[in-house]
Chain A
Amino acid sequence: MSLALDIGSWLLFGIGSLVLFIGAVGVLRMPTLYTRMHAASLTDSLGALAVLGGIMLQAGWSLAALKLLAILLFLLLTSPTSSYALANAALLNAEGGSKPDEEAAQ
């Protein structure tokens, strides 16, 4: 049983790390602000889900797992919201004057 849990959590760690790594590469390699955010925001949520899920499997049925669940819920709510706020600010800024694409392409 504990072996299965270990394998499961390491699998989740691996998936999470891979997804987060892909996100980091995307942030560095993508050409414009919006595509960079696309890379960062999606992978952020999935990566956090996988990594925290892996830690929760390690924690088992305990208070720590509950706390991790609270952190996970917090991240799942705030991470897309902050991405939305950032994209929205970039859009409003673009309407006002300079284009975010040009700034990001520097």
Chain B
Amino acid sequence: MTILFAVFLLSMLVITAVAIVRSSDLFAAVMLLGIFSLLMAANFFVLDAADVALTEAAVGAGISTVLFLGALALTAARERSRLGPPGLALVVSLVMAATVVYATFDKPALGDPNAPVHQHVAPWYLEQTPELIGIPNVVTAVLGSFRAYDTLGEVFVVFAAAIGVLFILSGDRPVSQVFRPKDAPSTRGLKHHLIPRIVGKLLIPFIFLFALYVQFHGEYGPGGGFQAGALMAAGVILYALLVGEGRALEALPEPLLKGMVAGGALLYLLVGVVCMLLGGNFLDYSVLAADAVFGQQLGIILIEAGVGIAVTGVLLCIFHAFAARDSGI
């Protein structure tokens, strides 16, 4: 049954990918990308990777669609005609595809318990998580504690991405002006549309509540800072679409958003530094409290909060930077 479902999802993925490439209407391509992400999320879920599925659904199908639409509002909605025949590109693609297909022949079968990836450190993580960290969700333990360096790196990649996008979108203006529309601010929103406004008002509190649930339930179920940050940003973006970006910027002003971007990443770093000051290794949370297990849990909650704050700030900064830019610069 599962294999049937997986084959169906994978074939839908291929069909969607082909449709994205072949569509010259960029709006349609963006919507298809959202569908692609949703199918991918379902695929991850079939593979029992609920945390990744949640991230893919929130970021891939949700936020990136909004950001792509924001980018499309600045450019043309149709693809320009292609230059020349696709001869070389076709050859390169076919060679690459053949290489990848050839490489999969050496791949262990799906779910093979003897696969190298399941023999290396994974058994140790599974055995030691209840003992050392004491939380049910091993993914969060691996992400937040065992491999905290990697997650720190990810947070700083997100941070760097936000800085880069802000610099690029500021154009000829100083970066401090990047959220301010040049002329005729689109602060109108959907004020005159009763139904979306009322439904949005009804839903936004629950979106925030769900984001907080995902944030703080990450130790027990799928979730964590990345997913919660995306959901939180989605709630604010919905608010901005309903009442206008100006009002959303009043609620969450620009210095606060930029502070969240830097502050979230710094909070993560600071937890690591405090661990060092208390005599442990960098990001070794055991020294944070008298009880080593409680220290680990405290450290994970703190760094997840840092991740959530940083991701919310980054996504909102990018959204406002896109929204404030008028086309034709």
A interface residues (Cβ-Cβ under 8 A, vs B):
74, 77-78, 80-81, 84-85, 88
**Count of CB-CB pairs between chains A and B under 8 Å:** 17
Cα distance A85–B195 when bound, in Å?
9
| Contact call B203/A84, Cβ cutoff below 8 A | no
| Contact call B195/A74, Cβ cutoff below 8 A | no
Given the complex, which residues of A lie within 8 Å of B196, measured CB to CB? Answer: 81, 84-85
- Considering the complex, give the chain A residue whose CB is closest to the CB of B198: A81
B interface residues (Cβ-Cβ under 8 A, vs A):
193, 195-196, 199, 202-203, 206
Given the complex, which residues of B lie within 8 Å of A88, measured CB to CB? Answer: 193
| Contact call A74/B203, Cβ cutoff below 8 A | yes
Instruction: State the main secondary structure of chain A at its contact with B.
Output: helix
Given the complex, which residues of A lie within 8 Å of B206, measured CB to CB? Answer: 74
- Considering the complex, give the chain B residue whose CB is closest to the CB of A84: B195
Cα distance A77–B197 when bound, in Å?
12
Cα distance A77–B198 when bound, in Å?
10
**Smallest beta-carbon distance B12→chain A, Å:** 14
**Known A77-B199, A81-B199, A85-B195; 14 more pairs at CB < 8 Å:** A74-B203, A74-B206, A77-B202, A77-B203, A78-B199, A78-B203, A80-B195, A81-B195, A81-B196, A84-B195, A84-B196, A85-B193, A85-B196, A88-B193
- Some 17 contacts from A to B, beta carbons below 8 A apart, are A74-B203, A74-B206, A77-B199, A77-B202, A77-B203, A78-B199, A78-B203, A80-B195, A81-B195, A81-B196, A81-B199, A84-B195, A84-B196, A85-B193, A85-B195, A85-B196, A88-B193
**Smallest beta-carbon distance B231→chain A, Å:** 13
Given the complex, which residues of B lie within 8 Å of A81, measured CB to CB? Answer: 195-196, 199
